Amino acid sequence: MKAIFFSALILLGTCNSMPAQNVGNAAFANKLNRLLDHAIPAVDVAHVDTAAVFLDAREPQEFRVSHIKNARSVGYDDFDIASVKDLSKDTAIIVYCSVGYRSEKITEKLIDAGFTNVQNLYGGIFEWVNSGRSVVSDSGTSQRVHTYNKDWSQWLLRGEKVF
């Protein structure tokens, strides 16, 4: 009986540690599962709270090409927690980048700074666009997405790739 109990406990623990987020492309999902730590809260595109504050953890030149509407650019290399000092610690925040790696690191910094309702956008802006969601630039709605470089551009399946 003890063996069954402990086996069930181990199985439940294993299932609980697996990422619950989804992306539409199996190869992209495999890449993300290897790339990300999965140690912080994440949300997939289908379950996004559009009323949340979106923080873009890409660099300014990437943000200028396009971004999620009303997103705030906070960057990655020069991220400063002071850039979000106007937000209360319980504000619903979704952080994104190209695929979720840089935004995962910024999400971690926000949590360490005391933010309690912050999530990483699983699959980043690539999955946002791949799912048919729109992005904008200073000129309005855009089809262009900065893909960081040619290697990463393979994961953007819709839109115009810019790198």
**Number of domains into which the chain is organized:** 1
In a domain, 118, yes or no: yes
In a domain, 150, yes or no: yes
Distance linking the first and last C-alpha atoms of the chain? 59
In a domain, 101, yes or no: yes
- 136-156: pLDDT as tens digits: 999 999 999 999 999 999 999
Mean pLDDT, range 5-20, rounded to an integer = 41
**The pLDDT value given to residue 9:** 39
- 101-140: pLDDT as tens digits: 999 999 999 999 999 999 999 999 999 999 999 999 999 9
| pTM for the full predicted model | 0.86
**The pLDDT value given to residue 20:** 54
Q: What is the mean pLDDT of the chain?
A: 90
In a domain, 53, yes or no: yes
In a domain, 4, yes or no: no
Domain that holds residue 158: 22-162
Mean pLDDT, range 22-32, rounded to an integer = 91
In a domain, 65, yes or no: yes
In a domain, 46, yes or no: yes
Residue 26 sits in a domain of what CATH number? 3.40.250.10
Q: Where are the alpha helices (DSSP H) in the chain?
A: 2-17, 26-35, 60-65, 101-112, 124-130, 150-153
In a domain, 11, yes or no: no
CB under 8 Å to 70, separation ≥6 — which residues?
54
**The pLDDT value given to residue 8:** 41
